[in-house]
Amino acid sequence: MSRIALIRTIMMVAIGVAIALAIGLVVRAITVDPKTGGGRDASVTGTSLVGGPFELTDQDGRRVSDQQFRGKLMLVYFGYTFCPDVCPTTLLDMSQAMDALGPAGDQVQPIFVTVDPERDTPEELKKFLANFHPRTLGLTGSPAEVQAAAKAYRVYYAKAKGAERDYLMDHTSIVYLMDRQGKYLTHFTSSIRGEQMAEAIKKFL
Ligand SMILES: [Cu+2]
């Protein structure tokens, strides 16, 4: 092995370790329940804690349960329609990913769950989602139903300060990819673009 080849090998290993550590940290961060800080169990069972059953109402007023998507991958994002930046950008990335997948995208169900059921009625969701991929399902429900869904996905959300009708929401911004049984596969942060998301999804199709 030449000196350059050796240095290159050492660098590749170092980068690999750094990436593994970074992934470990992110996965650990998202499995910690923000309310209870329940990191102890989360670190033992890892990402299997992300995801779970939900019962909500879609933008057409139909009742929807996670069971309906068995056999499909779910691309799940929690946010709210009044969001000034992160949510629209992320939904755009999801839409671009769906477009990039082409016909293979039929195996993927993009889902947007509101963390603001107070303002996000089915009608509001429908208006908002007209800007994004046509197969995107918008889900809302009673505060308790939304809370249960968010809890299952380890999503934190809270009303931030603001006027009575113009408040902002703080919320976790992670796109989850779930398998055909509804189990966690991987996740994407806001920095990923649609094309990269599509490439990552393809590996699971
Ligand atoms: Cu948002």
Asked if residues 57 and 144 have their Cβ atoms less than 8 Å apart, the reply is no
Torsion of CA 116, 151, 74, 170, to 10 degrees: 40
2 Cα–ligand 1 center, Å: 51
Q: How far is the CA of 186 from the centre of ligand 1 (A)?
A: 20
5 falls in which pLDDT band (50, 70, 90)? low
pLDDT band at 3 (very low <50, low <70, confident <90, very high): low
- Considering only 91-105, 113-127, 156-170, which range has the smallest mean pLDDT? 156-170
Residue 134: pLDDT over 80: yes
Can you give the pLDDT at residue 63? 98
Cα 114 to Cα 131: distance, rounded to the nearest angstrom: 16
Q: pLDDT value at position 40?
A: 36
Distance 85 CA to ligand 1 centre (A): 6
Residues at Cβ < 5 Å from ligand 1 ion: 79, 83, 86-87
pLDDT, residue 41, reads 38
Which has the closest alpha carbon to 204: 50, 101, 77, 59? 101
Radius of gyration of the chain (CA): 18
Indicate the pTM of the whole model: 0.78
Q: Where in the chain is the domain with CATH 3.40.30.10?
A: 50-202
Centre of ligand 1 from the C-alpha of residue 51, in Å: 20
Distance 203 CA to ligand 1 centre (A): 27
Residue 42 has pLDDT above 70, yes or no: no
Q: How many angstroms is it from 4 CA to the middle of ligand 1? A: 47
> Could you tell me the pLDDT band of residue 12, with boundaries at 50, 70 and 90?
low
**What superfamily would CATH give domain 50-202?**
Glutaredoxin (3.40.30.10)
Q: How far is the CA of 79 from the centre of ligand 1 (A)?
A: 5
Bridge-partner residues for 177, per DSSP?
A: 75, 186
Distance 91 CA to ligand 1 centre (A): 10
Give yes or no for residue 44 having a pLDDT over 90: no
Does the pLDDT of residue 6 top 70, yes or no?
A: no
**Distance of CA 84 from the midpoint of ligand 1 (Å):** 7
Q: How far is the CA of 1 from the centre of ligand 1 (A)?
A: 51
- Is it the case that residue 4 has pLDDT exceeding 90? no
DSSP codes, 143-201: HHHHHHHHHHTT--EEEPS--TTT--EEE--EEEEE-TTS-EEEEEETT--HHHHHHHH
